[in-house]
Amino acid sequence: MNILKFIESFTNEGVIKSLGEKHSRRESFTQFGNMGKMAAFAAAPLGIAALLTPNKTRAASASSAAFFAAAAETPTQALQLALTLEYLEDEFYQIALDTNGLIPQADRDIIAQISQHEAAHVDFLRQALGNDAPEKPTFDFTGGQGNPGGPFNPFQDYQVFLVMSQAFEDTGVRAYKGQAGNLMSKPDLLQAALQIHSVEARHASQIRRLRGLKGWIPGNDEGGHPDAVNAVYAGENVTDQAGFNTATVPNIPAIAGSESFDEPLTGAQATSIASLFIVS
């Protein structure tokens, strides 16, 4: 299955709702993953949903209202979401580097450098959160939600790996941007988050260039399927910025208006994307 088509099958509307309950960090992030998966399964084509959903998850679907997912509305929740995304990227790159024959030698130093950055981000965020740092989730990058032989395997096909890397990096960029407002009351944390945000943007640009694409996002084109609007790139093609229609600037193509501005992801949107790859 094409990873781009898989990712674009999901929507983000109404995925995350705070239930006002308190849970342990481990429970919260386990349920964080479950809620995202339940929403993803509901939005996926029936065949994919049946393929991805373990029997025990199908049986438990009626109790999905009991699942909790942080909406990333406080500085702590914002950093917890950021750390979860960094955990995901860190493990993704480490597995790729440990997989013999996956990464061409010409690209290996680039991927290794990005991997080092992600590991440093994990260490920093864990230190910043202290006792509030969530445990690292268990990830499944095949789309099989813990079942072997999922619909795709990024560690057997380098081009699939690059597509997923691009999606993860662009999700990170938009997610950090979306959490800036929740960090306004903590200027030191906001500054640190913005420092990470700019590095994630450089990663995203570099990965896109490894795929032979522009280093920025044209409209909502994720690359390879220009007619698709998937969860990672939904809303990237807006042209209205603070009441100004950027598509009306004289003597430049209309698409340049949307290219000139990146859009944020809400905590709910970022959570639903990351949760597609969280097993527990």
157 compared with 273, residue with greater pLDDT: 157
Q: What is the rounded distance in angstroms from the CA atom of residue 2 to the CA atom of residue 9?
A: 11
Model pLDDT for residues 31-74, shown as the tens digit of each residue: 444 444 444 433 332 222 322 333 333 332 222 222 234 455 78
Tally of residues, the chain: 280
- The enclosing domain of 172 has a CATH number of 1.20.1260.10
Strongest mean pLDDT among 100-114, 127-141, 193-207: 100-114
Q: How many domains does the chain have?
A: 1
| pLDDT at residue 153 tops 70 | yes
56 compared with 150, residue with greater pLDDT: 150
The predicted structure's pLDDT at residue 278: 87
User: How distant, in Å, are the alpha carbons of 4, 94, 111, 248 from that of 18?
Assistant: 29, 33, 37, 40
Whether 132 is in a domain gets the answer: yes
Q: What is the rounded distance in angstroms from the CA atom of residue 156 to the CA atom of residue 103?
A: 10
The predicted structure's pLDDT at residue 249: 87
Of 99-113, 202-216, 254-268, which range is least confident?
254-268
Q: Which of 2, 29, 95 lies closest to 274 in space, CA to CA?
A: 29
75-98 and 105-129 are packed helices; what angle lies between their axes, rounded to 10 degrees? 150
| pLDDT at residue 270 tops 80 | yes
Q: pLDDT-based confidence at 3, cuts 50/70/90?
A: low
Model pLDDT for residues 157-169, shown as the tens digit of each residue: 999 899 999 999 9
Residue 173 tokens read as 């960029």
Model pLDDT for residues 72-91, shown as the tens digit of each residue: 578 999 999 999 999 999 99
Residue 217 tokens read as 């996002």
Helix H or strand E encompassing 244: strand 244-245
Residue span of the structural domain in which 235 resides: 3-275
| pLDDT at residue 13 tops 60 | no
187 compared with 94, residue with greater pLDDT: 94
Q: What is the rounded distance in angstroms from the CA atom of residue 167 to the CA atom of residue 138?
A: 19
Whether 205 is in a domain gets the answer: yes
Residue 260 tokens read as 């000139």
Whether 203 is in a domain gets the answer: yes
Of 18-32, 58-72, 179-193, which range is least confident?
58-72
| pLDDT at residue 100 tops 70 | yes
The predicted structure's pLDDT at residue 34: 47
Q: pLDDT-based confidence at 15, cuts 50/70/90?
A: very low
Whether 280 is in a domain gets the answer: no
Query: Is the entire prediction scored with pTM above 0.85?
Result: no
Long-range Cβ contact pairs of 124-132 (< 8 A, separation 24 or more): 124/192, 124/196, 125/79, 125/82, 125/83, 125/86, 126/83, 128/79, 128/189, 128/192, 129/76, 129/79, 129/80, 129/83, 132/25, 132/76, 132/79, 132/80
110 compared with 27, residue with greater pLDDT: 110
Q: What is the mean pLDDT of residues 116-121?
A: 97
Whether 235 is in a domain gets the answer: yes
The predicted structure's pLDDT at residue 211: 92
